[in-house]
Amino acid sequence: EKKNRLERRLDATTSDDHSKWELETYAWSQETRRILTEIFKLEDFRPMQRSVINVVMSKEDCLVIMSTGSGKSLCYQLPAVLSKGITLVVSPLISLIEDQLIQLKKLGIEAATLNQSTAKDEVTRIQNALTNPNSNLRLLYVTPEKLAKSKRIMNKLEKSTELKLLKLIAIDEVHCCSQWGHDFRPDYQFLNILKRQFKGVPILGLTATATANVLDDVKSILGIQGAITLRAGFNRSNLYYEVREKPPTNEAMLEDLTSLINDRFRDQSGIIYCFSRKECEDLTRDLRNRGVKAAFYHAYLESDQRTKVHEKWLFGKVNVIVATVAFGMGIDKPDVRYVIHHSIAKSMENYYQESGRAGRDGKPAFCILYYKIGDVFRQSTMVCSEKTGTANLYSMLSYTIRVNDCRRVCIAEHFDETWDSSWCNKMCDVCEKSQKFEFSEVDISEFFAEIKKIIIQQRTETDQGRITGGKLVELIGKKFKNTSRVYLEQVVANLILQGFLQEDFHFTPYSIISYIVLGARGKNTSGTEKCTMKVQKVKIGSSRTEQVEAPAKKKAKKVIEDDDIIIL
Ligand code: ADP
Ligand code: MG
Ligand code: ZN
How many angstroms is it from 173 CA to the middle of ligand 1?
Answer: 15
Residue nearest to atom 13 of ligand 1 (CA): 71
Are the C-beta atoms of 214 and 180 separated by less than 8 Å?
Answer: yes
How many angstroms is it from 183 CA to the middle of ligand 2?
Answer: 15
State the ligand closest to the CA atom of 77. 1
Dihedral angle of Cα 311, 314, 316, 317, to the nearest 10 degrees: 10
Q: Which numbered atom of ligand 1 lies nearest the CA of 66? A: 3
> How high is the pLDDT of residue 23?
87
DSSP string over 152-177: HHHHHHHHHHHTT-EEEEEETTGGGG
State the ligand closest to the CA atom of 430. 3
Which uninterrupted H or E stretch holds 203? strand 203-207
Residue nearest to atom 12 of ligand 1 (CA): 71
Pocket of ligand 1 (CB under 6 A): 42, 45-46, 49, 66, 68-74
Q: Which numbered atom of ligand 1 lies nearest the CA of 67? A: 3
How many angstroms is it from 305 CA to the middle of ligand 3?
Answer: 39
Q: Which numbered atom of ligand 1 lies nearest the CA of 70? A: 3
Q: Which residues of the chain have pLDDT under 50?
A: 1-3, 5-15, 544-568
> How high is the pLDDT of residue 154?
95
Residue whose CB lies within 8 A of the most ligand 1 atoms, among 35, 50, 51, 70, for a mutation test: 70
Residue 130: DSSP 8-state: H
What is the ipTM for the molecules in this complex?
0.96
How many angstroms is it from 74 CA to the middle of ligand 1?
Answer: 7
The amino acid at residue 121 is D
How many angstroms is it from 95 CA to the middle of ligand 2?
Answer: 12
- In this structure, which residues have their CB less than 5 angstroms from ion ligand 3? 406, 408, 424, 428, 431
- pLDDT tens by residue, 291-328: 999 999 988 888 888 888 988 999 999 999 999 987 86
Dihedral angle of Cα 212, 217, 220, 221, to the nearest 10 degrees: -150
Residue whose CB lies within 8 A of the most ligand 1 atoms, among 42, 81, 89, for a mutation test: 42
Q: Which numbered atom of ligand 1 lies nearest the CA of 45? A: 23
How far is Cα 68 from Cα 381, in angstroms, rounded to an integer?
37
Beta bridge partners of 306: none
Q: Which numbered atom of ligand 1 lies nearest the CA of 43? A: 24
> How high is the pLDDT of residue 20?
86
Residue nearest to atom 9 of ligand 1 (CA): 71
How many angstroms is it from 42 CA to the middle of ligand 1?
Answer: 10
> How high is the pLDDT of residue 209?
65
* Range 412-420, long-range pairs (CB < 8 A, 24+ positions): 412/234, 412/235, 414/348, 414/352, 415/233, 415/234, 415/352, 417/231, 417/233, 417/234, 417/235, 418/211, 418/212, 419/235
Q: Which numbered atom of ligand 1 lies nearest the CA of 72? A: 3
pTM value > 0.80: no
How far is Cα 266 from Cα 316, in angstroms, rounded to an integer?
12
How many angstroms is it from 71 CA to the middle of ligand 2?
Answer: 7
> How high is the pLDDT of residue 549?
32
